[in-house]
Amino acid sequence: MPELPEVETTRRGIAPWVAGFEINEVIVRQRQLRIAVPSALEELVGWRVGDIARRAKYLLMPVAHGHLLWHLGMSGSLRLEEIGTPPRKHDHIDLVMSSKLVLRYHDPRRFGLVDFIAGDPCADRRLASLGPEPLGDDFGGAHLYRRSRGKRVAVKSFIMDSAVVVGVGNIYAAEALFLAGIDPRREAGRIASVRYRRLAEAIRRVLAAAIEQGGTTLRDFVSGRGEPGYFVQRLNVYGRGGQPCRVCGRELRSITLGQRASVYCPGCQR
Ligand SMILES: [Zn+2]
């Protein structure tokens, strides 16, 4: 599933050939995505796209009197192709840009969506309920501490709640908790503020590192080769249950927490 770093990498990869350019043609081959592709999409021909923003795992493209809202769902990707490149299976939408490249949406499972929001996108219900961006100024240890008081939920589930902070998927939650030395099962409301400072710092670090590594795949957007897939990161705990901890050598333990697989080190995390 595309996580926040993949979406941010997509934004950076497509922006130079989409933002500031006009939409010359819209081709929709499949309208049935998570929601039906609105006919408003075809009405955007001739309009210029503004600066592309990301909010959580949504991409927002200002155009005409509103914004295009994209979400990649479980298996979606946006890539740039040369004009005339034949569509592959599951290439559902093309925006032919005046930059002479095609912005092409590919999604085998069709859980992604594109919608047109007229007016202020911040008022849209899908965006209004979201917590702060993990790499933004509104996020930090104080925010996590404040939001966690009185919460009995496990800290891992707490930081994966998009109303608390957006974009902390299962991999990043597991890795950040390891770096911060916090047991994923610990009750969110019983963690001290100094430990939340370390956790917020760790969340920023793992996400920033993933975005940084995504930068090396940007050339793929131009040529149309490859996709913004899963970045090969050096993972300390995720997917390493039963293997030795890289720090203390103890066997990493696998558990299920909030219906998600979780791995942690019983020596380093408490
Ligand atoms: Zn350890």
Q: What pLDDT digit, counting tens, does each position of 120-129 carry?
A: 999 999 999 9
Q: Where are the domains of the chain?
A: 4-128, 141-264
CA 244 to centroid of ligand 1, rounded, Å: 8
| Residue 66 in this model has a pLDDT that exceeds 80 | yes
Distance CA 161, CA 35 (A): 23
CA 196 to centroid of ligand 1, rounded, Å: 19
Q: Which fold has domain 4-128?
A: N-terminal domain of MutM-like DNA repair proteins (3.20.190)
| Residue 32 in this model has a pLDDT that exceeds 50 | yes
pLDDT of the residue at 2: 86
* Per-residue pLDDT tens over the stretch 240-269: 999 999 999 999 999 999 889 999 999 999
Summarize the confidence of residues 116-143 as an average pLDDT. Answer: 95
CA 250 to centroid of ligand 1, rounded, Å: 6
Output DSSP code: residue 186. S
SS3 43: helix
CA 72 to centroid of ligand 1, rounded, Å: 35
- Non-local (6+) Cβ contacts of 253 within 8 A are 241, 263, 264, 265, 266
Q: How many CB atoms lie within 10 A of CB 84?
A: 6
To the nearest whole percent, how much of the chain has pLDDT over 90? 85
Q: Answer yes or no: is 156 a known binding residue.
A: no
Which of 1-15, 159-173, 220-234 is the least confident region? Answer: 220-234
Summarize the confidence of residues 29-36 as an average pLDDT. Answer: 97
| Residue 218 in this model has a pLDDT that exceeds 50 | yes
| Residue 219 in this model has a pLDDT that exceeds 80 | no
pLDDT of the residue at 229: 47
Provide the whole-model pTM.
Answer: 0.91
Active site residues: 2-3, 57, 260
| Residue 158 in this model has a pLDDT that exceeds 80 | yes
| Residue 97 in this model has a pLDDT that exceeds 60 | yes
Second-level CATH architecture of 141-264: Orthogonal Bundle (1.10)
Cα-to-chain-centroid distance, residue 214 = 12
DSSP track, 15-46 = HHHHTT-BEEEEEES--BSSSBPPGGGGGGTT
| Residue 35 in this model has a pLDDT that exceeds 60 | yes
pLDDT of the residue at 216: 61
Residue pair 69/60 in contact (Cβ under 8 Å)? The answer is yes
pLDDT band with cut points at 50, 70 and 90 for residue 214:
confident
| Residue 79 in this model has a pLDDT that exceeds 60 | yes
| Chain mean pLDDT for the chain | 93
Provide the CB-side half-sphere exposure for 120 (13 A, CA): 4
Q: Answer yes or no: is 151 a known binding residue.
A: yes
